[in-house]
Amino acid sequence: MASRTVKAAAVQLSPVLGSREGTIGKVVSAIAEAAAAGAELVVFPETVVPYYPYFSFITPAVKMGAAHLALYEQAVSVPSPATDQVATAAREYGAVVVLGVNERDHGTLYNTQLVFDADGSLVLKRRKITPTYHERMVWGQGDGAGLKTVDTAIGRLGALACWEHYNPLARYSLMAQHEEVHCSQFPGSLVGPIFAEQMEVTMRHHALESGCFVVNATAWLSEDQIGQITADPDLQKALRGGCYSAIISPEGKHLCEPLRESEGMVIAELDFALITKRKRMMDSVGHYARPELLSLNLDARETAPLHGAPAGTKPGDSPLRTTHHDQARESSECSDA
């Protein structure tokens, strides 16, 4: 059986704080740079557009209103001119692009992962199912509709953000859909060196357990940017470390040296024959599974706050977006029987 190979890039980007357009410009430039190096898959950090809400980690809730409102103003609507720029770059360079954004949907922000196929089409928009700790003051919750793999020009792709990887059932839902490449995103420049150490353990374990490649991207803040967020030296310590952009094989090995500080990107070739090599020995959702004993039930319906039609709706009117209870009433059984 002929081996299939794909070249992937994990981009460690420093966002332009306070500027959606500035960060999108850097994203588009990085796509071009990665493509020039042969990358067919380009993965960016968690909510890098316009920037991760670092302020929420170090600012009391009563004092973070102004920063939160500023993030609302710079957040991304989907679709919008900002997403159009990324779609155009994906199409121009023939690359699959995975981008983390702060998505604004009317009065709520979400931690959203966007997957653009190599033709520029948006094939997945998923929202982080449970924001972590301080993030719950900033973002709303996603739903099970985004816990799915998508077939792209480079293969079957799955994505999770940050500590979603500590929800083993969320990971298993993608494993059971036979993801070949897992795209993970973390904020970077947060918590300290221990954050990167924990991240490495988690990412390498997922590669082994899923028998897939992992392409992990984190952001990076310069000292000047840290100073923009807070002038308090003690709080600044919480905005360093935690950077680990890496590409990992299904055997849990680094395919190139991870990037742990500064801007840049790591690029490696993914040989899909390694997936079969790993799964021949241990396939967590195949011959190593016991679905009659252990299986996962995934409610993959999209949720909405309103169901049915409002009073006054006439026959022939465009129906409301009906989801959850009104959509097909079935759950996706994510057990690989």
Q: What is d(CA 30, CA 9) in angstroms, rounded to the nearest whole number?
A: 10
Helix (H) or strand (E) holding 210: helix 193-210
The set of residues, in sequence order, having a beta carbon less than 8 Å from that of 231 and lying 6+ positions away, is: none
3-state SS of 78-119 is CCCHHHHHHHHHHHHHCCEEEEEEEEEECCEEEEEEEEECCC
Which of 7, 26, 40, 46 is an active site residue? 46
Beta strands per DSSP E along 130-224: 150-152, 155-161, 181-186, 213-218
Q: How far apart (Å, rounded) are the C-alpha atoms in residues 22 and 24?
A: 6
Reported as type and span, the H/E element at residue 332 is: strand 332-333
Q: From CA 165, how far away is CA 198, in angstroms rounded?
A: 11
- What distances in angstroms separate CA 58 from CA 177, 220, 233, 253, one per listed residue? 38, 17, 12, 34
DSSP state of 301: P
d(CA 299, CA 323): 12
The token duo for 272 is: 């899909």
Annotated catalytic residue within 26, 128, 148, 279: 128
> Is 162 known to be catalytic?
yes
Alpha-carbon 253 to chain mean position: 21
Catalytic (active site) residue 292: no
Query: 46 an active-site residue?
Result: yes
**Catalytic annotation, pick one of 26, 162, 164, 183:** 162
Q: Give the active site residues.
A: 46, 128, 162
